[in-house]
Structure 1
Amino acid sequence: MLKILMILLLSSLALFASSTGESTAHTVPDLTMTWVGFACLFIFVVGYYFVAAEEKYEIDKAKPALFIGTFMFVLVAIYYSLNSLDMGLVHTQAEHLILEIAEIFFFLFVAMTYIESLIHMGVFDRLKYNLISKGYTYRKLFWVTGFLAFFISPIADNLTTALILSTVLITIEKTRKDFLVPGAINIVVAANAGGAWSPFGDITTLMAWTAGKGHFQDFLFLFPASIGGYLLTAFILARFVPNTQPDFDASKEVKPTMAEGAKVVIALGVFTIFCAVMSHQVLHMPAMWGMMFGLSLLKVYSYGLKRKYGSDHFNIFESMAKIENNTLLFFFGILAAVGALYFIGWLGLAVIVYDPSVLGATWSNISVGFLSAIVDNVPVMSAVLKANPDMGLEQWMLVTLTAGVGGSLISFGSAAGVGVMGKLKGVYTFGAHMKYAWTILLGYIASVSIWYLQYQVLGIGH
């Protein structure tokens, strides 16, 4: 088992599939047993340690990620130059790497811009007020915030969804851990599960979609497995939440109002997602092209709002300035780093675990969920896509499901979990999460079981 885990860990150091992966695999020399191969592997491990220990050293995770991502490729290029190897291979690999990262980079950039615009226009403040002014019990608020997280994350990203709704939690109650801890876990699990059945609900599903592992509608068939696992976890967690009402006097609170034009921005956001789907599925263009078109519409509308209400009403560049650029730079850096490791040849072992004599596709994909909780679901999913094992649509949907929901098993296993830990410091901690981790494990098993029944027994979703 230890040998299998080591193989899986090595396979997590990869970038998502490129269109030229198969054609270049036969011409790129294997550098794993050279000084540059070992040096880059060592640099990656050290750099990833500092990424994982972000809070301990108080260092932004984008810094080590960006450094190792750029430095490793420089080392590879130097090795090629010193040994008179074909520099065109380095150039081609770097170009394709940039293209693949850019497709997802700009997709997330536009999505974040819309979210920040909606925050600026008071949409989420209004949502928060509406929730806490209804007179709901803690248990009912637990369910409401969970369902909101599950159905918002397929449109927004799971990190933003988790941050917004964890803010709602801390607004409702600041001290009662018997509500805050199960509520925080509920939001993390719901956001990750909700993102798993949407092509753009999580970075991992976005990667699988843009890599052509399934059409838009194929991911929607993961809805039963996603919501089934979440509901089981939520049902058990709800038993630990008090059924009393929080102290809140709505008459003493100022009801927030949404800025003029907020509803149009919401509509433009939905239309932008529609444009992304049409770009990819119908026009056979990158999904980010439709997203950028949607951004252009938002910019035109912001010009109209500026003319009508003044420059202080809504400035789209202010929304762009509030985007978490460190997240985008981390994404670029870590994928560039694992791309370098792929180029060197460290992924030769990745396909071994998918061999029927080792684990086979189903058990390997189930193991991906556990690995994504320990490492991170982005590089893990990248490994599977780059290794590109020969398996059918149902297995690609399984690994998409497990990589998405598996990150909930540990508090820092997903971006949503890390974000909520930051919002609820001292309350939602690693230890507090692990106390209820068994409920998440049961939900994970339920999700995989539903997938098996749906795809393998009933043949639905092929």
Structure 2
Amino acid sequence: MFKTLITLLLSSVALFASAGGNTGEVAPNITMTWVGFACLFIFVIGYYFIAAEEKYGIDKAKPALFIGTFMFLLVAIYYAINGLSLDLVHTEAQHLILEIAGIFFFLFVAMTYIESLIHMGVFDRLKYNLVSKGYSYRKLYWLTGILAFFLSPVADNLTTALILSTVLITIEREKKEFLVPGAINIVVAANAGGAWSPFGDITTLMAWTAGKGTFTDFFYIFPSAVLGYLATAVILARFVPDTQPDFDATKEVKPKMHEGAKVVMALGIFTIFCAVMSHQVLHLPAMWGMLFGLSLLKLYAYSLKKKFGSEHFNVFHSIAKIENNTLLFFFGILAAVGALYFIGWLGLAVVVYNPDVLGPTWSNIGVGFLSAIVDNVPVMSAVLKANPDMGLDQWMLVTLTAGVGGSLISFGSAAGVGVMGKLHGIYTFGSHMKYAWAILIGYIISVSVWYLQYEVLGIQHA
């Protein structure tokens, strides 16, 4: 089974991008050359240091950015030494930049809005409203998790995770027995909630736009997603203290949101709407709508400056506070996966879907584990590019597993990476893996519910 998973890993990551572009040339397979083995070795070592971030005290963006850039430099050097066409490398790099830019700028704008809302006192006010009601840590754990599950289908899993992890850290900054299970709960809920909405996750968005299911087909994943999440949440809740946060309503002053905070909140919601409409209706990248929303925020900030002075709200101050390491991590890791593809570590992605190898069901279940290792975006891209011959039931399975499977490891999804950046030093790879068994139980339940619904009962569309 281990060899099979390794085979699936190597073949799946290989399909991340389209080599050769429009040059009409085919990139040579250089997997069995010194540069092929060297880059594979560099990738494995780099991922080790990313996973061991807590052990070595090295930010995950450093190894990710290093391997992502260095691997392509080695490939270009190999092409130059052997007289191969450097136009192929150039075209692939350009294509990869386009792939990464969509995620990079989407994150950039989402984080800017989060920091702007923090500056405007929105989360301090939300914290006060939650804690002042006398809720225990356990009730707050459930409240943030349920909010994440039902918010992510609309706002997408990354933005949801960023918002609610910010709420989490404003409620409590030191008590890890609350913060770690709470962070995992938010990540699992956001990924599970995003799996049953066509625009709740980048992976479901990719499957929907590729025509693998209609808008309503994805809603049929809801039973699998919600039951899997609840299974994990119930287990993790046992580790959350049932005590109340230190709070004295007679001493605490009710935080006041800055003037214009409600408009900034409305602009944030409208920005998400613009991102969805840009991609689905206008066929522009989702980040186009996000950047349009950023332009509206900047225009509104200008009006606030005229009315209240330059110190009231400055968008660039919010930009200065965003987690740049998260952005650089995404750039580096997606560049590294793109390099593995271009080198030629590919060939068996479609073969494993054959009934005499693994078959579609076991292959798609394996995709969930790969999503945790490689990140669900490139893995889903790999499956879509391989385009195995599958029915609607199997395409919904791979959408489910790519979404919820990313929760198995802390950096397996955009939501997880975002929360790692927001709760730096608290929610880490190591702290996540202590509870990974609970997430695995939820994953197994999600797949089991899918099997009962789709394969036994045959319920998959109206």
Aligned to 1:291: 290
Does structure 1 conserve the Cα–Cα contact (< 8 Å) formed by 2:224 and 2:450?
yes
CA distance in 2, matches of 1:103, 1:455: 33
Please show how residues 154-173 of structure 1 align to structure 2 within 5 Å. 154=153, 155=155, 157=158, 159-161=161-163, 163-168=165-170, 170=172
Deviations 1:103-127 (A, max 9, x none): 2222222222222211211111111
Specify the code of the residue in structure 1 equivalent to 2:192: A
Deviates more, 1:73-82 or 1:322-331: 73-82
CA distance in 1, matches of 2:274, 2:421: 34
Does structure 2 conserve the Cα–Cα contact (< 8 Å) formed by 1:229 and 1:443?
yes
Cα 1:126–1:206 shift into 2, 3 Å: farther
Q: CA deviation at 1:423?
A: 7.6
Specify the code of the residue in structure 2 equivalent to 1:317: F
Please show how residues 24-423 of structure 1 align to structure 2 within 5 Å. 27-154=26-153, 155=155, 157=158, 159-161=161-163, 163-168=165-170, 170=172, 177=177, 182-198=181-197, 201-202=200-201, 204-205=203-204, 208=207, 219-238=218-237, 245-374=244-373, 376-410=375-409, 413-414=412-413
Specify the code of the residue in structure 1 equivalent to 2:8: L
Does structure 1 conserve the Cα–Cα contact (< 8 Å) formed by 2:15 and 2:381?
yes
RMSD: 3.4
Does structure 2 conserve the Cα–Cα contact (< 8 Å) formed by 1:373 and 1:412?
yes
Does structure 1 conserve the Cα–Cα contact (< 8 Å) formed by 2:54 and 2:425?
no
3-state secondary structure, aligned to 1:250: coil
Aligned to 1:9: 9
Task: Using structure 2 for the length normalisation, give the TM-score.
Answer: 0.86
Deviates more, 1:46-55 or 1:244-253: 244-253
Uncovered stretches (5+) of structure 2, i.e. residues with no partner = none
Uncovered stretches (5+) of structure 1, i.e. residues with no partner = none
Cα 1:427–1:31 shift into 2, 3 Å: closer
Deviates more, 1:130-139 or 1:378-387: 378-387
Does structure 2 conserve the Cα–Cα contact (< 8 Å) formed by 1:17 and 1:385?
no
Q: CA deviation at 1:288?
A: 1.7
Cα 1:398–1:99 shift into 2, 3 Å: same
Q: CA deviation at 1:134?
A: 0.4
CA distance in 2, matches of 1:254, 1:298: 29
CA distance in 2, matches of 1:424, 1:91: 37
Q: Report how many residues are paired.
A: 458
Deviations 1:255-305 (A, max 9, x none): 112111111111112212222222222222222222222222112111111
CA distance in 2, matches of 1:344, 1:430: 29
CA distance in 1, matches of 2:326, 2:422: 16
Deviations 1:386-424 (A, max 9, x none): 544333454333223222222333556556557767887
Specify the code of the residue in structure 2 equivalent to 1:80: Y
Does structure 2 conserve the Cα–Cα contact (< 8 Å) formed by 1:152 and 1:161?
no
Cα 1:320–1:95 shift into 2, 3 Å: same
Q: CA deviation at 1:445?
A: 2.3
Deviations 1:370-392 (A, max 9, x none): 34345544454454345443334
CA distance in 1, matches of 2:252, 2:51: 40
Task: Using structure 1 for the length normalisation, give the TM-score.
Answer: 0.86
3-state secondary structure, aligned to 1:32: coil
Q: CA deviation at 1:315?
A: 0.8
Does structure 2 conserve the Cα–Cα contact (< 8 Å) formed by 1:17 and 1:387?
no
Q: CA deviation at 1:4?
A: 0.7
Does structure 1 conserve the Cα–Cα contact (< 8 Å) formed by 2:123 and 2:170?
no
CA distance in 1, matches of 2:333, 2:425: 29
Q: CA deviation at 1:326?
A: 1.6
Cα 1:176–1:21 shift into 2, 3 Å: closer
